[in-house]
Amino acid sequence: MPVPEPDAPRRAALLTLGCARNEVDSEELAGRLTGSGWELVDADSGTADVIVVNTCGFVEQAKKDSIDTLLAASDAAAPRGAKVVAVGCLAERYGAELAESLPEADAVLGFDAYPELAERLGDVLGGHAPAPHVPVDRRTLLPISPAARPAAASDVAVPGHAWVPNLARTRLSDAPVAPLKLASGCDRRCAFCAIPSFRGAFVSRPPDDVVAEAAWLGMHGVRELVLVSENSTSYGKDLPGGTTALARLLPRLTHVPGIDRVRVSYLQPAELRPDLLEVIATTPGVAPYFDLSFQHASPSVLRRMRRFGSREDFLGLCERIRALAPEAGIRSNVIVGFPGETDDDLAELEAFLTGARLDAVGVFGYSDEDGTEAAGYDGKLPPEEVARRVEHITSLVEELMTQRAEDRVGTEVTVLVEAEEDEDFECTGRADHQAPEVDGECVLERGSGLEVGDLVRAVVVATEGADLLVSPRERLPRSELATAGAARESG
């Protein structure tokens, strides 16, 4: 590897896997590096001194993807003598175990290393890699009582919470949409989920910090904010004012200059208060979009999952949402093949999905996760039976999602353009009911002359599966979506 000039900046590339929360973490890490004099380069440029892989450790496939990415990065880096460093959820969750099984990674760093990442990477380049991270249950790092956490949180590294005017995140994309963290961690104890053990107890960000970072994003060309956390409905439980905090925060965000649409992700159905439901459904500038973690609809399966609800409860919630916003988007994920799931349980889930008319559904087959309660359950279904159920429910939801999209033909949608038209691809974007990557998209008629970042009012003219084909009607000026929404409501 060529020796850099004495004053030449060290170069780092960041690769991000997993969810939007990891995207925020990577941009915080990028800000820390650039603030310490590092230069960010593309991983494919062949010029990085170190490649930092922000891994995902959620489910088995995500772990495999993270390991494959680390191995590929090592193969690319080795001929040049560059280094590869693992960070993120897989590194936090497995630490020294990952380092031992994956010697291709030159260092495995946990969340506690994030504040000094530039120094740690310098150590790696100097041949003095820090000892591999030793995992702990991060729920033990903060008080059990949420009210006692704000003071203690300053002594615990919480990824994605470090934004201050002098430590701005560095955007790794020029997309007109950006995720923004509301909180980190989770206090729920779902039997199938390991996330709380490595993400920690629930910690809200102060509302003023969220608004300030939103303003910074607005100044950097962002028109849509996607508010993310492990559980957005818990936002404020550890702050003065309690869980009404999100209902009060959302209208503030709609007045941030440059921001035209605010979207909330990761809502727990059992915690969705009527005031928050109404704010999301009716506030101009807030997308009437409900990302609800149903997971199942059979009461007996939900109880084994350590969750709450039933088909009747969830259908009633969907009805309340649509009574306030008939065109609201509702999406969810479901797990099939959970230990003890019977044919009757599966039929209950089918009945819910058929009645709910959700816009998007992610279907996951159950698999054991290290350290979770469900891993020790009896009644495990054979993998081939889990796969059969996944195929069956996936086929059902694809048909239902197509029907739901067809219901929107003739309706008006507001589309944020995210890809421009060229000779090979049509112009595409997303409407209020479509979140980035996880839902369908809108395909705009050719010849519209729209650019990335444009916000356009359009009419749905046809569908392709869950995607909508739309005809543009009017380009909306920046920061005037709220005014347009208010005018439509008053009209």
β-partners of residue 281 are none
Binding residues for [4Fe-4S] cluster: 19, 56, 89, 186, 190, 193
- Cα maximum dimension of the chain: 69
Structure tokens at 480: 């005037």
Dihedral sign from CA coordinates of 217, 219, 222, 227: positive
Cα 224 to Cα 217: distance, rounded to the nearest angstrom = 9
For 487, counting Cβ atoms within 10 Å of its Cβ (0-12 exposed, 13-18 middle, 19+ buried), the class is: exposed
Of 30, 87, 25, 76, which is closest to residue 49 (Cα–Cα)? 76
- Find out whether 460 and 413 touch, Cβ atoms under 8 Å: yes
Binding residues: 19, 56, 89, 186, 190, 193
Cα 412 to Cα 432: distance, rounded to the nearest angstrom = 11
